[in-house]
């Protein structure tokens, strides 16, 4: 129950379900059992209540410090759920949030109608369009281009702007409405498979001074690059039709840029990309946290570190720190127990 507080929740509702004796769930739910005595997990509720009683003012006065925002809303996620371009395409959205949180970077979500409002994107250093498959708001491309010109960075994932809001596929190429922003159009795409598929192997991308396996079922877009856009990643494949094709393209606008990815990384290179766009972010984390650990900064300089895994996890801090919740002193190399939550300063 501390995880929602770490991510910025400002209330806690204890939901008990239907406690009618003739109702649907007569055997469990609530904080008191059927004799009127506390349920076995009542002590946990008391413990959480004590934490919120002590720290609620601090939590409210110092909310999450978000340096990035992911553009996503019900319409976009519904469109992706109705028509999955490949079975794993919905993973782009949670993996985007996870990459920021593993870096200790706060990240908000924003719907498309809000994103086109003047100044709405200005507080953020990075904006990610994460699998917005039915992206066709006419004002969004200009809003994103203006945002980039002022120094922001836009990252566009695969599966973005494939169809209209009504689900009709575009007739001018995937992402054609964003071409002035990204400098590319994707005329077509292929699901190439991965080493998990019989008789297939991972497609790879040479970028960011390394080699990255292609994730999300080996899904690759073919990009047609316009003049003025810079290719900084290319596919490496035994398939002649894919080998050497552009995989990552950057187009600069004023003080910022737009980056279009024709693939989704199957390793941790996404964290490397985000770190390069936000070099001073991360604060108390000296390196990306392992998968399963999420770190969320607050405006007072503190950092929640949450192990969502049932296994211990090691994190590297930029300096020795203290856990506010327990007063425990933490070394730069710190091990979290299963499901442990730290609030460090």
pLDDT tens sequence across 42-55: 888 888 889 999 99
pLDDT of residue 26: 62
* Number of domains forming the structure of the chain: 3
pLDDT of residue 32: 78
Residue 272 belongs to what H/E stretch? helix 269-277
3-state DSSP assignment of residue 248? strand
**Quick one: DSSP state of residue 288?**
P
Regarding predicted confidence, which is higher, 26 or 4? 4
pLDDT of residue 90: 96
pLDDT above 90 covers a percentage of the chain that reads 82
Average pLDDT over residues 79-100: 96
| pLDDT bucket at 41, cuts 50 / 70 / 90 | confident
Are residues 57 and 139 part of one domain?
no
| pLDDT bucket at 185, cuts 50 / 70 / 90 | very high
The CATH number given to whatever domain includes residue 340 is: 2.60.40.1180
| pLDDT bucket at 216, cuts 50 / 70 / 90 | very high
Domain of 323, in residue numbers: 293-344
β partners of residue 323: 344
pLDDT over threshold 80, residue 22: no
- Distance, CA of 265 to CA of 215 (rounded, Å): 5
| pLDDT bucket at 9, cuts 50 / 70 / 90 | confident
pLDDT over threshold 80, residue 24: no
Average pLDDT over residues 28-37: 76
Q: Is residue 288 part of a domain?
A: no
pLDDT of residue 18: 59
3-state DSSP assignment of residue 147? helix
**Residue 91: CB partners within 8 Å, gap ≥ 6?**
215, 216, 264
Distance of CA 156 to the CA centre of its chain: 13
3-state DSSP assignment of residue 317? strand
pLDDT of residue 19: 60
Q: Is residue 83 part of a domain?
A: yes
Mean pLDDT score across all residues of the chain? 93
Which residue's structure tokens are 């498959």?
133
Average pLDDT over residues 5-17: 76
Are residues 166 and 23 part of one domain?
no
pLDDT over threshold 90, residue 302: yes
Average pLDDT over residues 138-153: 98
Are residues 75 and 18 part of one domain?
no
Are residues 333 and 184 part of one domain?
no
pLDDT digits (tens, 9 = 90+) for 217-267: 999 999 999 999 999 999 999 999 999 999 999 999 999 999 999 999 999
Classify residue 244 as left (phi > 0), alpha (psi -120 to 50) or beta: left
Regarding predicted confidence, which is higher, 73 or 36? 73
Average pLDDT over residues 276-303: 91
> By the 8 A CB rule, do 307 and 340 touch?
yes
pLDDT of residue 1: 82
**E strand segments, the chain:** 66-71, 106-110, 126-129, 153-156, 184-191, 204-207, 210-213, 219-225, 230-236, 246-253, 256-261, 293-297, 303-307, 313-316, 321-322, 329-330, 333-336, 341-344
Regarding predicted confidence, which is higher, 24 or 166? 166
Are residues 101 and 216 part of one domain?
yes
Q: Which of 129, 202, 197 is nearest to 162 (CA)?
A: 129
| pLDDT bucket at 17, cuts 50 / 70 / 90 | low
pLDDT of residue 29: 64
3-state DSSP assignment of residue 150? coil
Q: Is residue 285 part of a domain?
A: no
3-state DSSP assignment of residue 104? coil
Q: Is residue 282 part of a domain?
A: no
The CATH number given to whatever domain includes residue 71 is: 3.40.50.880
**Last-in-domain residue among 218, 245, 277:** 277
Q: Is residue 47 part of a domain?
A: yes
């Amino acid at each position: 129950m501390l995880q929602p507080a770490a991510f910025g929740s400002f209330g806690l509702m204890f939901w008990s379900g239907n406690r009618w004796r003739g109702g649907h769930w007569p055997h469990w739910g609530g904080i008191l059992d059927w004799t009127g005595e506390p349920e076995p997990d009542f002590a946990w509720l008391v413990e959480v209540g004590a934490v919120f009683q002590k720290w609620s003012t601090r939590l409210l006065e110092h909310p999450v410090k978000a340096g990035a925002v992911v553009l996503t809303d019900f319409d976009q996620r519904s469109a992706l759920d109705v028509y999955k371009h490949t079975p794993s395409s919905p993973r782009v959205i949670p993996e985007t949030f996870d990459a920021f949180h593993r870096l200790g970077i706060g990240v908000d979500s924003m719907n498309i109608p809000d994103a086109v409002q003047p100044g709405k994107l200005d507080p953020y250093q990075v904006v990610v369009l994460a699998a917005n498959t039915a992206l066709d708001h006419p004002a969004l491309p200009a809003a994103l281009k203006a945002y980039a010109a002022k120094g922001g960075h836009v990252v566009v994932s695969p599966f973005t702007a494939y169809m209209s809001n009504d689900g009709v596929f575009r007739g001018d190429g995937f992402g054609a409405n964003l071409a002035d922003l990204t400098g590319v159009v994707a005329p077509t795409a292929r699901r190439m498979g991965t080493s998990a598929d019989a008789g297939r192997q991972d497609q790879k991308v040479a970028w960011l001074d390394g080699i990255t396996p292609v994730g999300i079922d080996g899904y690759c877009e073919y990009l047609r690059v316009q003049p003025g856009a810079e290719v900084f990643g290319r596919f490496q494949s035994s398939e002649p039709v894919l080998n050497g094709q552009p995989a990552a393209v950057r187009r600069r606008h004023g003080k910022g840029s737009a980056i279009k990815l024709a693939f989704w990384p199957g390793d941790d290179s996404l964290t490397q990309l985000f770190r390069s766009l936000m070099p001073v972010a991360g604060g108390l984390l000296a390196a990306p946290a392992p998968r399963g650990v999420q770190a969320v900064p607050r405006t007072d300089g503190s950092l929640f570190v949450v192990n969502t895994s049932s296994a211990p996890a090691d994190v590297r801090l930029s300096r020795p720190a203290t856990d506010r919740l327990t007063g425990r002193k933490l070394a730069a190399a710190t091990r979290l127990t299963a499901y442990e939550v730290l609030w460090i300063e």
